Structure 1
Amino acid sequence: MQRSLMQLTHGLWLLLAVLLLTGCREAPDQAALDAVIEARLTQAFGPQTFAIERLRRLGSGPLAADAQGRPRQIVYFNAVLGLERDLDFSSWDTLNIAAFASLLGATPLGVSGLEQAGNRRGDRVYVHGSASFVRDAAAADGWVPVAVTLPGVGTPSAPLSPASSAASQQLFARLKQLYARQSADPKRQYKIINEELDQAYETITQRLDRLDHALILAGGPAGGEYQGVAQLLAQTLTARGRTADALTTAGSAENLALLRDGRADLALVQNDLAAAALLGSDGFASAGPQPALRVLASLFPEPLHLIVAADSALRTPHDLAGRRLEIGQPNSGSRANALLLLAAAGVDMKGLAAVREGGLEQGLADLAAGRVDAVIATISAPAARIQEAAALGLIRLLPIAPDLQRALAGQATGLVPIQLPPDTYPGQHEAVPTLAATALLVAAERLPRADVDLVLGTLFGGIDFVAAGSAAGSQINRRSAAVGLTLPLHPAAEVFFAGAVSPVD
């Protein structure tokens, strides 16, 4: 009996050993992981930038097969990277935190050790990341690395959200009942409700402003970079004793309207739209000029992406003549920049085969389906939808040559020369020269100096956007605060940047 038990135990150990050995062969090993992480860091930053002090393989798991039906595996790891030279991830010329995290198969919150003010030689960066591989019989170990994008991580919400309270939900339900009420004249019914709500809103806003003098920040769409930065700023100001709130909005155009109507004190706005609002031109002609608009600082770049199919014969903006183009939604900054680029490249809009205005997501779908030849979009990089398309090998980015950069850059357009660093997007191993609009923090000239001082001090000295996982926020720094300004500086901001006011402690 004892001998049989020993034989059974021995057999189980042999079976376990076989399974373990088979598992090792069925997934990339430590050596494959070491090689791909070393190669990616060197490709993106050059040699002698990062030293891999520790890289521990944690395990692996299957991914869905690729388009050719080949098996894929994802390998998870923890790494400690030592910096061998100074590196500033807030610089507009290097990978930001989102692109760096994507390079290593992490989310921004999976990377720690990066400093908002820049890192120094000897600093350590800690990464909880991953690398993905596809089965390839021609490879020495049977696996080759591939790019896979991970879901983005949104900016955390405020600890308390009044909109989610039971009382507010009851109020929303009551309002819904008013709209659902049956009436002999529904059109007049809705008009009455809207008029009363508008009046009530104004009354409530005025009373609340008198109560706590809250600063209202107009941000952007939920989950977007504008709203994320606005939320972090409002939360930090509130924590420091200055009550503030960030509004979710449709974007720059609505933000400028809120400022004009006095329903917001501060707003994040794309710089070219800010210039148009100041003058009352383009989409702001009917509302008239906003001469009291002032800028507090430039925050982060929003590069112009010129996207074509990976196998496209197009090489330069000049090649877009006669093609089918997606140029951005009506009245958007993206569309305005596309028109500027096409005009500078000598592309006649009337000669285009087709012009679509559906926006980036629809444009990428049309590009994949062969319905358009190129997509032009102005958006913070790396943009998640572009990352996904690049990881699948569907697209590439066209460069904007120096002559076009010089022709378009300047205060008249608000565009600034910039480059997308290598590996901003999967498969993009060379820098891509382009242009960028900038996101501005703007206000009315009447905003008191004390508020301007507090906001700028908090923005540049009181928020660790890197630790918060904000890709756009991680690029906010005083060195680029005057880049791409299209409005006059607020008088208090002039004093702040002259050095009379120190960042908030």
Structure 2
Amino acid sequence: MLRTLLVVVLALLLGACSRGPDQATLEGDLQRRLTQAFGEGVLGIAELQRRGSASDAKAPPEETRVVVYFDSELELLRDQDFGSWESPGVASLISALGAGPRGLSGVQSGGNRRGDRLKAHGSLIYRQVEGGWQVVVPQGFSAPRAPQPSEGGTGSPDELLIAAVGTALKLSPTGAGVSERQIIRDEMQRSLASIQGRLSRLHHGYPLAGGPAGGQYARFAVALGSLLGERGLHVVPLTTEGGVANLRMLRRGDVVLALSQSDAVHYASTGSGPFAGEGPYSQLRTLASLYPEPLHVLVRGAGPIRAIAGLRGQRVNLGQPGSASRDTALAVLAAHGLKPEDLGEAASLDLQQALAALRDGRLDAVIQVIGAPADQIRAASEALDLRLLPLDEPAVRQLVASRPGTFAMSLAAGSYPRQPAPVATLAVSSLLLCDQQFSAAEAEQLVRALFAPSNRWLAWGSIQGEQLSPANARRALTVPLHEGALRALDAGPAGAGAR
């Protein structure tokens, strides 16, 4: 009986492995995706081996879909810098391959040369159609989502602490309600970040204000902490509300390092915009410009919204309070003649929550500033037909002229599934920041380590980290470079590791 069962299981497994397109179809589809992302004559498939297939658990009920896994070796047919801001980079390559950041190797600091080989573990999703199989989208990489305090269960430390605070405040004999608990949770997160920062400084570390849990800033901050830790620099990444909150934490001395957008940094340094009541932050300094962050305006592909003007009266997520992305989103709406009150609803969800609400029909659009292609958006595109709205050219010109730290950018065709053409948008630069209390020696050491050619950003889970380059370290700066950073960058390849 056991032997018969094993034979049946083996037969089922072999059947699953043989499902999907044949080798020639798989190679052809992958080559087309690479050509769509990078153009003709950039990447060719030197070797490709199937590694089995599995049913797609996310397939619509009416479709039969399989995920086909493969190992590939790609050859560079001409020189290509995958860290360039002006051309498709590592994130586009990972998107085309349906790979995760740890599934790609061979990308060289300073750019790859003709004849170089890249190795990747990737996957594509196929649906069964009459006469064969049709590629749908890459399987891709879904970033792990950190559980929120509200998801920890009634016995979790977070929930016990919320209950204790509610009791101490004598909110209700039966405990705090939903609204009260959310207020306590928000204030706890702010307080915990501040406590972490102070404890880190006490133990001679460098607390770094990152971003919301599971977000791009948070993942970059964790990768940065790991890489610098290998070089003896103790950086402690903190979970925060985002770029605007980070700048306030840096000014208060809660942290030593911070990530924020170039436009928000300008307003903090001049005491304007969201910082109008706080006065100029004249001590603010840049350690390096890291990578570009284009603005994404996402709607459902089958919906009627085709332009920014179509957002009037719609339910739109603008981003979390305390995030620099939200401030930029408001500026973009204003440049198109829209105010928050012109919207049907101005939501304040994080990106993951907003994409889920868009999928479920509880939102009509999502506006987010984030490095592209963003893995969260790409993962959502696997199950949801999304469309990127272009910004109006006059609005982009107005914003670039009036909002320091912004620049026009085009999201390359194929950045996301079902995106056949480039999309015109606005971008900012992600900046790593400190202030003048940070010593020149510390700044120089950190920047040298930041741009070390041996940094393994993909191995630590940060796709955007591969876009770091000394050649781009001074781009879109809105406050001066710290003198130590300037010293490291001026030293050239020996000091910073040129790409």
TM-score category by the smaller chain? 0.7 to 0.9
Shift of 1:434: 1.1
Is the contact between residue 27 and residue 73 of structure 1 (CA under 8 Å) also seen in structure 2? Answer: yes
Matched letter for residue 31 of structure 1? A
Q: Sort the Cα spacing of 1:282 and 1:124 in 2 relative to 1 into closer, same or farther, 3 A.
A: same
Is the contact between residue 328 and residue 377 of structure 1 (CA under 8 Å) also seen in structure 2? Answer: yes
Instruction: Answer yes or no: is 1:468 the counterpart of 2:460.
Output: yes
Matched letter for residue 28 of structure 2? A
Match of residue 47 from structure 1: 40
Is the contact between residue 319 and residue 325 of structure 2 (CA under 8 Å) also seen in structure 1? Answer: yes
TM-score by length of structure 1 reads 0.79
Structure 2 counterpart of 1:384, from 375, 382, 386: 375
Which SS does the other structure have where 2:451 is aligned?
Answer: helix
Instruction: Answer yes or no: is 1:79 the counterpart of 2:69.
Output: no
Q: Sort the Cα spacing of 1:131 and 1:237 in 2 relative to 1 into closer, same or farther, 3 A.
A: closer
Structure 1 residue ranges, 4+ long, deviating more than 6 angstroms after superposition: 18-25, 176-179, 181-185, 201-204
Distance 1:441 1:28 in 2: 45
Match of residue 399 from structure 2: 408
Match of residue 62 from structure 1: 55
Match of residue 190 from structure 1: none
Distance 1:241 1:20 in 2: 47
Matched letter for residue 97 of structure 2? L
Matched letter for residue 366 of structure 2? V
Distance 1:64 1:185 in 2: 46
Is the contact between residue 233 and residue 458 of structure 1 (CA under 8 Å) also seen in structure 2? Answer: no
Which SS does the other structure have where 2:476 is aligned?
Answer: coil
Is the contact between residue 100 and residue 140 of structure 2 (CA under 8 Å) also seen in structure 1? Answer: yes
Is the contact between residue 241 and residue 320 of structure 2 (CA under 8 Å) also seen in structure 1? Answer: no
**Larger Rg over CA atoms:** 1
Matched letter for residue 245 of structure 1? V
| 1:200-239 mapped onto 2 (5 Å cutoff) | 205=198, 209=201, 213-239=204-230
Which SS does the other structure have where 2:426 is aligned?
Answer: strand
| 1:240-389 mapped onto 2 (5 Å cutoff) | 240-347=231-338, 349-389=340-380
Structure 1 counterpart of 2:484, from 478, 487, 492: 492
Deviations 1:247-275 (A, max 9, x none): 33333233223322223221112223222
Shift of 1:378: 1.4
Instruction: Answer yes or no: is 1:91 the counterpart of 2:84.
Output: yes
Matched letter for residue 143 of structure 1? W
Is the contact between residue 114 and residue 466 of structure 1 (CA under 8 Å) also seen in structure 2? Answer: no
| 1:132-143 mapped onto 2 (5 Å cutoff) | 132-137=125-130, 139=131, 142-143=132-133
Is the contact between residue 319 and residue 348 of structure 2 (CA under 8 Å) also seen in structure 1? Answer: yes
Is the contact between residue 324 and residue 373 of structure 1 (CA under 8 Å) also seen in structure 2? Answer: yes
Q: Sort the Cα spacing of 1:330 and 1:458 in 2 relative to 1 into closer, same or farther, 3 A.
A: same
Match of residue 109 from structure 2: 116
Matched letter for residue 91 of structure 1? S
Matched letter for residue 324 of structure 2? G
Match of residue 191 from structure 1: none
Match of residue 161 from structure 1: none
Tell me the matched-pair count. 460
Is the contact between residue 290 and residue 469 of structure 2 (CA under 8 Å) also seen in structure 1? Answer: yes
Distance 2:340 2:213 in 1: 34
Q: Sort the Cα spacing of 1:468 and 1:65 in 2 relative to 1 into closer, same or farther, 3 A.
A: closer
* Deviation larger for 409-418 or 425-434: 409-418
Is the contact between residue 48 and residue 85 of structure 1 (CA under 8 Å) also seen in structure 2? Answer: yes
Shift of 1:77: 1.3
Shift of 1:373: 3.6
Is the contact between residue 223 and residue 462 of structure 2 (CA under 8 Å) also seen in structure 1? Answer: no
Match of residue 444 from structure 1: 435
Distance 2:163 2:42 in 1: 61
* Deviation larger for 342-351 or 482-491: 342-351
Distance 2:341 2:165 in 1: 50
Q: Sort the Cα spacing of 1:93 and 1:369 in 2 relative to 1 into closer, same or farther, 3 A.
A: same
Shift of 1:372: 4.2
Match of residue 4 from structure 1: none
Q: Sort the Cα spacing of 1:353 and 1:19 in 2 relative to 1 into closer, same or farther, 3 A.
A: closer
* Deviation larger for 415-424 or 232-241: 232-241
Distance 2:27 2:377 in 1: 27
Distance 1:294 1:186 in 2: 44
Matched letter for residue 409 of structure 2? I
Distance 2:135 2:432 in 1: 41
Shift of 1:236: 3.5
Shift of 1:401: 4.1
Which SS does the other structure have where 2:250 is aligned?
Answer: helix
Match of residue 135 from structure 2: 145
Instruction: Answer yes or no: is 1:483 the counterpart of 2:471.
Output: no
Matched letter for residue 45 of structure 1? F
| 1:425-444 mapped onto 2 (5 Å cutoff) | 425-444=416-435
Matched letter for residue 271 of structure 1? S
Q: Sort the Cα spacing of 1:50 and 1:274 in 2 relative to 1 into closer, same or farther, 3 A.
A: same
Deviations 1:201-232 (A, max 9, x none): 989958x757x643332223343332333333
Distance 1:202 1:113 in 2: 40
TM-score by length of structure 2 reads 0.80
Matched letter for residue 21 of structure 2? P
Deviations 1:328-360 (A, max 9, x none): 233432222222222222335544444333343
Matched letter for residue 60 of structure 1? S
Q: Sort the Cα spacing of 1:318 and 1:413 in 2 relative to 1 into closer, same or farther, 3 A.
A: farther
Is the contact between residue 108 and residue 153 of structure 1 (CA under 8 Å) also seen in structure 2? Answer: no
Match of residue 169 from structure 1: none
Shift of 1:19: 9.4
